Structure 1
Amino acid sequence: MVQATERPVSTEAERELLVYMIFALFLITAMVIAIAVVFQRRKNKLIEEKIKQKETFSKEMQTIQAEVQEETLRFIGRELHDNVGQILAYANMQIQMLAKNTQDQFREKVSNTSETIKKGIEEVRSLSKSLNSDVILEKGLIATVANETERLRRFKFEEVVFTYNAEKDGLIQKSHQLVLFRIIQEFLSNSLKYSEAQKVEVHFDFCPNDLKIVLKDDGRGFDMETVEPGSGLINMKKRAELINTRFTIESAMGAGVKVEMVYPFQSILIKDFE
């Protein structure tokens, strides 16, 4: 009785076909993964571009707003110096002429009035310098802050402290000096109007790579968890962001306010040369 021979499980051709199918499946899978990766990268790139566009637009709007504010302040500063200053000077001249023809009993009062007008003229001139960006850019940051603190010392505060460890404001871009001064001016203005402070401090610490600025007052302070930031604080933060400056603020009820800024002049200088 003849037994039938068993058929082989697979032929050589079938094995090759199986290998090709596995290879094709692997290739298709790899292509799908590659397409998915490329698509995801493309999607991420588009998202990043949109974020950058929004950030660029936001910075451009902030820059435009700052430029408009500076132009307004420059105009006010010039008007104060050229018009209001001249009017006060003319009024003082008239008072002095009047004093010569005034009876002795009124001469002292007229003289006191003249002295008051002179102080007003000095204040107007000092204020016009702090508002006019052309003057600020010409004098430099340190000299301008010194002028502003001296003006406030005459105005209200019992003590105004301004210290700096070196005169290196030449390392700071002119336009950035203006921004830093406006932040300092905003802080001093808020201390004057709201804090009821008797003492304010401005400290410049020039380090090898950056400038650390500390602003302090001994006013009533505020609770940072419950008080919403006002326009002054928002303006200071936005201005600091425009020049890549780290900005932090600390305050508590009865403990005054402290602002710290770190301006990285070294990295900005390197970036400008690249």
Structure 2
Amino acid sequence: MHQQQADLYNAILLSALVFFLVAAGLVFLVFTYNKRRKIHAMEKESLKKTHETILLKSQIEVQEQTMQTIASNLHDNIGQLLSLTNLTLASINIDDREKASKKIDNSTELVNKSIKELRELAKLLQGEKLLEKGIGYALAQEVAWLKKSEIYQINFTNQLEEQLETSPEKDLIILRLFQEIVNNIIKHAKATEIIISLTQQQENLLIVIKENGIGFNYHDVSKNNSVGLGLHTIEKRVKLIDGTFQVDSTIGKGTQITLIIPYP
């Protein structure tokens, strides 16, 4: 009888010990899980802050680049044109009507060039204001500027003008990326036709810019000159907003650039 009681007592103690160990194990697992979850949340928040800092830095760089471009154009281009205009007008001899007429014509041409340069600067300054009406509207205005040059045959598809959602932290970067790509076409492509498509596919903004210019070897260009540096800068900024940058170029047939950007 005493032996049975002793065995029962031992069994109860053993059961209690096992229960205590299981409970302690569960408490330890819950504690470890919560600790790891907090660490993961902290790491995630840290990464988010780092990404936001880098994104903000890129936005500031874009704005500073715009200001530098404006300052450079004012000093090097417009300032020079206006100085030449001033010198030309100051050298006019009214008594010599033939030479005076030529100098006035030259002055008029210089003034027109100055106006053109000022319009380009106005476009840069106006960009951020246009973004208030949405990225689709702002990019459409860029295309309208391009059409006014009457240099290129433009085929433009825009499914974003009715886009009501915005992404302020991305919009300025997207606008400057678009401007940079178009400027590269103007400077280097020797194209006669440009096809531009702006669409929204699920949660991605899709921008496709295709031209029929001279084309290039992307790998060779990316290693050797300023064009490659510009492409690297574009690719870097696209990745910064979690997008992808694709270049498909054939020498003698032209180039297609595709931007796929999560949006908004």
TM (normalized to structure 1)? 0.66
2:129 corresponds to? 138
* 1:233-272 alignment, distance < 5 Å: 233-240=231-238, 246-254=243-251, 256-262=255-261, 264-265=263-264
Secondary structure of the corresponding residue to residue 172 of structure 1 = coil
Counting aligned pairs with the same residue, the percent is 13
Alignment equivalent of 1:180, drawn from 152, 155, 174: 174
Are 1:128 and 2:127 counterparts? no
Change in CA separation of 1:44 and 1:64 when aligned onto 2, cut-off 3 Å: same
Q: How far 1:180 sits from its partner (Å)? A: 2.0
Q: How far 1:179 sits from its partner (Å)? A: 2.4
Deviations 1:195-246 (A, max 9, x none): 554433322336797754322233424457996795534543554466x564
Secondary structure of the corresponding residue to residue 215 of structure 1 = strand
Structure 2 Cα separation of the partners of residues 57 and 238 of structure 1: 16
Question: Cα RMSD over matched residues?
Answer: 4.3
Deviations 1:80-125 (A, max 9, x none): 4699546634643654673865564x67864664454244213311
Are 1:13 and 2:6 counterparts? yes
Structure 1 Cα separation of the partners of residues 185 and 75 of structure 2: 29
Are 1:43 and 2:36 counterparts? yes
1:269 corresponds to? none
Aligned pairs, how many? 251
Change in CA separation of 1:195 and 1:138 when aligned onto 2, cut-off 3 Å: same
Secondary structure of the corresponding residue to residue 199 of structure 2 = strand
Q: How far 1:73 sits from its partner (Å)? A: 1.6
1:62 corresponds to? 55
Q: How far 1:63 sits from its partner (Å)? A: 0.9
Structure 1 Cα separation of the partners of residues 69 and 200 of structure 2: 32
CA contact (8 A) 1:201 1:217 kept: yes
Greater displacement, 110-119 / 178-187: 110-119
* 1:19-168 alignment, distance < 5 Å: 19-74=12-67, 76-77=69-70, 80=73, 85=78, 88-89=81-82, 91-92=84-85, 95=88, 98=92, 102=96, 104=98, 110=103, 113-114=106-107, 116-132=109-125, 135-140=126-131, 141-142=138-139, 144-150=141-147, 153=149, 158-165=152-159, 167-168=161-162
Secondary structure of the corresponding residue to residue 11 of structure 2 = helix
Greater displacement, 140-149 / 54-63: 140-149
* 1:192-207 alignment, distance < 5 Å: 192-195=186-189, 197-205=191-199
TM (normalized to structure 2)? 0.68
User: Where do 5+ consecutive residues of structure 1 fail to align?
Assistant: 1-7, 266-274
Letter in 1 for 2:176: R
Secondary structure of the corresponding residue to residue 167 of structure 1 = coil
Greater displacement, 79-88 / 164-173: 79-88
1:268 corresponds to? none
Secondary structure of the corresponding residue to residue 73 of structure 1 = helix
User: Where do 5+ consecutive residues of structure 2 fail to align?
Assistant: 132-137
Structure 1 Cα separation of the partners of residues 86 and 212 of structure 2: 41
Secondary structure of the corresponding residue to residue 18 of structure 1 = helix
CA contact (8 A) 1:159 1:199 kept: yes
